[in-house]
Amino acid sequence: MIDEASSRHSEFLQTQFGTIIEPSGAKVILFGVNEFNEWWSSFESYYEAPIGRKLIYAASDDEEHHLGTDTSYEIPKWFGKKTVFRRMNTRWITMGWGVNAPLDARIQSPCHDLLGAGFALAHYEHQTGKRYQMEWRQLNSEFIKLDFTEKLDEIPLAPKAVMPAWVLNREHSDVTTTSLEHEIDLRSFGFFKGQERAMFLPVSVFYRLYYSVLGRPFQAGLKWSNTLHIEGLDHSSTSLVEALSESSTLMFKSSDYTIFVQTQSDWEAHIKTRISSRGFGTVTVEEFVAGSSPSVRMSLNSPLPGLALGLLISMWERAHGAPCSSEVIFNTESALIYLHPRKVEYI
């Protein structure tokens, strides 16, 4: 199965638009497993009520749509079922999600408990051709036990995810691609990138999550940073982008990634490493000012602009050892970002 997963990885492509495309043509993001855990813990904590089920259903619906529309996962009536089931299990390894054991109703070495449960539900329903109510229990960090109860509901296939209006990464007709530039170390449960376990997540999972939490109340008294100013979005979208940016900032701060910036080319190299090469889109530096009062103006075109924005802010602050002010304007083509030193007001 590892050989099959390696073969699938060879079919992953990177585009000049800073996106990664898996063999089916879907856009994916390369996440560190611990990195995603940090992001989710921060993001969920902002909401008044738990949103874990929202992530489960976002993963389940997205994977259901993928399995139901990709002909390579079509289950034949008679012969060839084992081949398709093996292909489905290989997808888990290829994407870095863990090991799905549907016959034992468990997941081994899950990438994330909620994501794993959602993906497993979609795979179990696809294999059986039935609908189920699922409950799950995490026995320890290595095993999740799943309990399925059949439902009689006839529910149509989950529809294609809808891209939010404020997402800036549009389809292009002149896409050029190259092989995936990351060195991936495959294991029996997924893969490592360098020293950290990593995974690929479809961008569309995030779009489903966004719509499910849009407008939900945040924690009482929660206040976003007064140094991030966003224009061009409605109130609900602005609040969601602020939550995504803040949680992404905390995600990066938990890392030990070293940033040293003296020139524009230094900064652009870090952008390529942390943004473009992982599927977060492209960043064009319009103006770069070094010295005692460093600043940068950029345009961002990203399938996940909220997360990319938080990464850029926290990377800039680490590079210069001081917090910054951020001004962001969303338009129809890109997000215009201006990062500069905070103004200190003396009384």
Structural domains in the chain, sorted by start: 2-169+182-207 (no CATH), 223-341 (3.30.1380)
Q: Which residue has the higher pLDDT, 141 or 133?
A: 133
pLDDT greater than 60 at residue 346? no
pLDDT of residue 103: 79
Confidence of residue 213 (pLDDT cuts 50, 70, 90): very high
Percentage of residues of the chain with pLDDT beyond 90: 78
pLDDT greater than 80 at residue 324? yes
How are beta strands 106-108 and 27-32 bridged, if at all?
unpaired
pLDDT greater than 50 at residue 214? yes
pLDDT of residue 1: 61
Confidence of residue 115 (pLDDT cuts 50, 70, 90): very high
pLDDT greater than 80 at residue 126? yes
Mean pLDDT of 127-139: 90
pLDDT greater than 90 at residue 345? no
Q: How far apart are CA 340 and CA 317, in angstroms?
A: 10
Q: How far apart are CA 48 and CA 50, in angstroms?
A: 7
pLDDT of residue 17: 92
Mean pLDDT of 288-293: 92
For the record, the structure tokens of 112 come out as 């994330």
Q: 328 Cβ partners below 8 Å, 6+ apart?
A: 228, 229, 230, 231, 309, 335, 336, 337, 338
pLDDT of residue 253: 94
pLDDT of residue 249: 96
CA dihedral 121, 125, 131, 134 (to 10 degrees): -20
Q: How far apart are CA 42 and CA 248, in angstroms?
A: 8
Q: How far apart are CA 5 and CA 9, in angstroms?
A: 6
pLDDT greater than 80 at residue 171? no
Q: What is the pTM of this model?
A: 0.94
The closest of 65, 281, 273 to 170, measured between CA atoms, is: 281
pLDDT greater than 90 at residue 173? no
Query: Each residue of 304-313: pLDDT tens digit?
Result: 999 999 999 9
Burial of 88 (0-12, 13-18, 19+ CB in 10 A): buried
Residue reference for tokens 């084992």: 82
Length of the chain: 347
Mean pLDDT of 164-170: 79
pLDDT greater than 90 at residue 7? no
Q: Are 100 and 90 in contact (CB under 8 A)?
A: no
Bridge partners for 177 per DSSP: 15
Confidence of residue 172 (pLDDT cuts 50, 70, 90): low
3-state SS track over the chain:
CHHHHHHHHCCCEEECCCCEECCCCCEEEEEEHHHHHHHHHHHHHCECCCCHHHHHHHHHHHHHHHHHHCHHHCCCCCCCHHHHHHHHHHHHHHHCCCEEEHHHCEEECCCCHHHHHHHHHHHHHHHHCCEEEEEEEEEECCEEEEEEEEECCCCCCCCCCCCCCCCCCCCCCCCCEEECCCCEEEECCEEEECCEEEEEEEHHHHHHHHHHHCCCCECCCCCCCCCEEEECCCHHHHHHHHHHHHHHHHHHHCCCCCCCCCCHHHHHHHHHHHCHHHCCCEEEEEEEECCCCCEEEEEEECCCHHHHHHHHHHHHHHHHCCCEEEEEEECCCCEEEEEEECCCCCC
Lowest mean pLDDT among 41-55, 139-153, 166-180, 274-288: 166-180
